[in-house]
């Protein structure tokens, strides 16, 4: 027999408590929240059995609450608490069964402060435990063009029941669920005894549920849920695209600036040790472009410290500076090695047009005669070559801008990447080498 659709409330046939009838014609049992009695809806609410000693889980939702989700008015008609032991810890979640006279049955699940909306999936596709065990790669299911990748296998037990249900739940009843996830949804392939069902779940924003059911959720999510969508923000796409484009533009500008070789003002001017200290004069234009003075010496397992002074056309010092040129090489137990450089340089921007005078001296120098030295020469160096080029451009600032835009791009891209990584962190798939 089926339940009379005109019945809106009953009294529990075990304890006499008044119970609302909310769940539609497919309900087969109703479990009294007061005494735990399971009542047979199809047999005048005859008491079938009692679930004693159950502790009601903490949930902000109660049976009889109504709310609109995705444009459909639902009523909460029952709740089930599930528990799973994995990795030495217990995980619990609460399924709230929903009913709509026009759209049938659904679930609203509360797990670790997150909310998930689930409906039965009647489309194609199934992943079995055997398929997971023998697969070298995570099994994949495609449904209506959506790609679902294996996520995890769970075995949970029912620890609390209350309300109306379209089947007969049992305390301790175990369900094995194989989950596969896409970018926006999850398919659950559930096996309970000999029964098999498929479900499709999506994430529900907290505020959506609070507004729908007029409740306040005091539970704070402590991790990213596998179905939780990435919150990009209103300008995410623009910032991601713009930062990438500007980083490329700045890198190209840096390449252009760095490739400008300028022109020789003083080319390959050679000084011997006997010529030092020496003064060298060369003309420069005050064109706001860089001028680079380059030095190279034939040091070998030796070093030389250059004392440098540059005067402008008005004999005003432009700079007093020092540069060290050193180069060492040899062999040891690990083979040949070398370090240092035979070159040095400094750059500046001339502020006046005219003849500049560079004074060069080598007040300090030396030869290294350590063990393993490849060769030792009598003097630290024999000659010093000086070259002056003007009309150069610096790529420093455009490189800095490229780095800044690149960091902004990585920050935006990294936010999404980290979110995706957090979503998949709970998978139990392990790649075996």
pLDDT tens-digit map of 245-304: 999 999 999 888 887 778 889 988 999 989 999 999 999 998 878 899 999 999 999 999
Beta bridge partners of 280: 358
Cβ contacts of residue 35 below 8 Å, gap of 6+? 12, 14, 15, 17, 50
Cβ distance 226 to 186 under 8 Å? yes
Task: Yes or no: say if 409 and 248 are a contact pair by the CB < 8 Å rule.
Answer: no
pLDDT score at 373? 67
Q: Return the pLDDT at 331.
A: 83
Q: Model pTM?
A: 0.69
Rg of the chain (C-alpha set) = 39
Contact (CB, 8 A) for 304 and 277: no
CB 134 within 8 A of CB 4: no
Quick one: pLDDT at residue 115? 95
Domain boundaries, the chain: 57-213, 261-392
Positions in the chain short of pLDDT 70: 1-6, 372-376, 432-433
Q: What is the pLDDT of residue 112?
A: 87
Q: Strand order of the sheet with strand 383-392? A: 263-272, 383-392, 290-297, 343-348
* 3-class SS shares of the chain: helix, strand, coil, % to 5: 15, 45, 35
Query: Do 236 and 412 meet the contact criterion of CB atoms below 8 Å apart?
Result: yes
pLDDT at 2: 47
CATH architecture group of domain 261-392? Sandwich (2.60)
- Give the per-residue pLDDT at 4: 55
Tell me, what's the pLDDT at 217? 86
pLDDT for 372 equals 66
| Cα 250 to Cα 382: distance, rounded to the nearest angstrom | 43
């Amino acid at each position: 027999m089926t339940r009379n659709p005109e019945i809106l409330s009953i009294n529990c046939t075990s304890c006499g408590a008044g119970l609302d009838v909310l769940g539609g014609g497919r309900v087969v049992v109703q479990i009294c929240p007061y005494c735990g009695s399971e009542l047979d809806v199809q047999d005048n609410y005859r008491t079938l059995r009692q679930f004693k000693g159950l502790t009601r889980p903490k949930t902000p939702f109660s049976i009889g609450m109504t709310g609109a989700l995705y444009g459909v008015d639902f009523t909460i008609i029952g709740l089930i608490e599930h528990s799973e032991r994995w990795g030495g810890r217990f995980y619990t979640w609460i399924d709230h069964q929903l009913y709509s006279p026009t759209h049938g049955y659904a679930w609203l699940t509360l797990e670790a402060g997150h909310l998930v909306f689930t409906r039965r999936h009647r489309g194609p596709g199934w992943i079995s435990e055997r398929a997971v065990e023998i697969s070298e790669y995570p099994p994949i299911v495609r449904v209506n063009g959506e790609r679902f990748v294996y996520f995890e296998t769970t075995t949970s037990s029912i620890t609390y029941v209350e309300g109306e249900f379209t089947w007969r739940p049992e305390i301790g009843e175990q369900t094995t669920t194989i989950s596969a996830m896409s970018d926006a949804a999850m398919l659950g392939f559930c096996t309970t005894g000999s029964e098999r069902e498929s479900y499709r779940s999506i994430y529900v924003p907290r505020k959506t549920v609070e507004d729908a059911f007029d409740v306040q959720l005091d539970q704070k999510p402590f991790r990213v849920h596998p179905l939780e969508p990435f919150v990009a923000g209103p300008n995410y796409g623009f910032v991601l695209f713009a930062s990438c484009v500007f980083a490329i533009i700045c890198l190209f500008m840096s390449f252009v600036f760095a490739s400008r070789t300028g022109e020789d003002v003083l080319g390959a001017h050679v000084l011997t040790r006997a010529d030092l200290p020496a003064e060298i004069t060369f003309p420069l234009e005050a064109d706001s472009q860089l001028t680079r003075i380059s030095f190279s010496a034939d040091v070998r397992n030796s070093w030389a410290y250059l004392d440098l002074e540059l005067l402008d056309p008005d004999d005003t010092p432009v700079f007093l500076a020092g540069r060290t040129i050193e180069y060492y090489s040899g062999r040891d137990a690990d083979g040949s090695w070398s370090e240092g450089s035979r070159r040095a340089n400094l750059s500046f921007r001339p502020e006046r047009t005219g003849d500049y005078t560079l004074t060069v001296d080598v007040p300090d120098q030396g030869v290294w005669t350590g063990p393993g030295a490849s060769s030792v020469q009598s003097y630290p160096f024999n000659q010093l070559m000086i070259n002056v080029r003007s009309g150069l451009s610096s790529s420093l600032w455009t490189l800095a801008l490229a780095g800044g835009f690149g960091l902004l791009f990585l920050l935006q891209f990294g936010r999404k990447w980290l979110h995706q990584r957090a979503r998949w962190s709970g998978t139990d798939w392990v790649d075996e080498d």
